[in-house]
Homo-oligomer: A and B are copies of this chain.
């Protein structure tokens, strides 16, 4: 399935659910779970999109400094995120809100970075989900190193499903041009590290089309490094799940890295600061609207009568609640205490920083600012 056959077969997009909501067969991959799982995916997709819409609204209203929308990439993130096991570890970029959802990160915590109150407030090690990484590509090496750690911890290829562990590194099409990402491919291949390189090819790196990063389909990049590359319909949550699940399993078994290219489209702006009208035509957008990752699941579920309208309404209602909670929580987010930053630089702080903190505390106090006790109290 991951043999050299891919070198040719990989050229076609792996799809299991058409934009019209029809299940289709693929020679190498099939969706292993039942309709109940798809019902769950639908909820994930809707909730994720709602988180995204609400965050975008909050930014428009000045509550967030910026927001990176995942609109259009929900299936790529939910399909891959749901293929992860508890013990697996994910390294996101700044756009993996859907994966965060799958890792049970409270969506409210995603807002902190964009509101400017913190740089990620969840515990990466507990969540199995690293902090967002903004420097393009850097996290792919972190993921590879983490995977090398797994090898040393003997949690690869034991056959115990609760023990064997894999890592997934998320990155974009633009990131494939960074030296770090290519070095990660080399390290993972040379050490046969249990890592899945999950590239969401949303066709754009801000204003630059994919042609600026590669002349050939991105998944083929992996072939030059000696491990398999696959292209999956990134708007097909079933196909993404099936392919990622297989790639993760391959990693857990000790068979090494896999490159998964989720072929999708960035339906929104790069971030709320961006203006795509300057560099792309709306016709593309129209074309991709027809491939919406949520509509096809809804079509499948309703046509098959798997769920009734009440279910859909229920999800809508739940999403509304979440949105309301997000809005309320965002407005209530406390600003950090400026005196705390000094103690966060090092595990063992330095006399220099203590001095700077005390000096600044005294300075602030002279304006009636937060006193040091306060800071220490926190």
Contact = CB atoms under 8 A, between A and B. Distances in A.
Interface of A: 7, 176-180, 182-183, 186, 189-190, 211-216, 220-226, 229
A373 to B, nearest CB: 48
B190 A211 contact: yes
Nearest to A223: B224
Contacts of A224: 220-225, 229
A226 B190 CA distance: 22
Nearest to A176: B186
Contacts of A220: 223-224, 226
A214 B192 CA distance: 11
Name the residue among A186, A225, A229 with the largest chain B CB count within 10 angstroms.
A186
A127 to B, nearest CB: 29
A256 to B, nearest CB: 9
6 contacts: A178-B183, A179-B183, A189-B215, A190-B212, A190-B213, A221-B225
Contacts of A190: 211-215
Contacts of A229: 224
A22 to B, nearest CB: 33
Contacts of A189: 214-215
A211 B186 CA distance: 11
A24 B300 CA distance: 63
A223 B226 contact: no
Nearest to A215: B226
A177 B187 CA distance: 9
Contact of A179 (B180, B214, B222): B180
Contacts of A223: 220, 223-224
Contacts of A212: 190
A29 to B, nearest CB: 22
Name the residue among A180, A182, A212 with the largest chain B CB count within 10 angstroms.
A182
A334 to B, nearest CB: 41
Nearest to A189: B215
Contact of A214 (B182, B186, B214, B222): B186
Name the residue among A180, A213, A216 with the largest chain B CB count within 10 angstroms.
A216
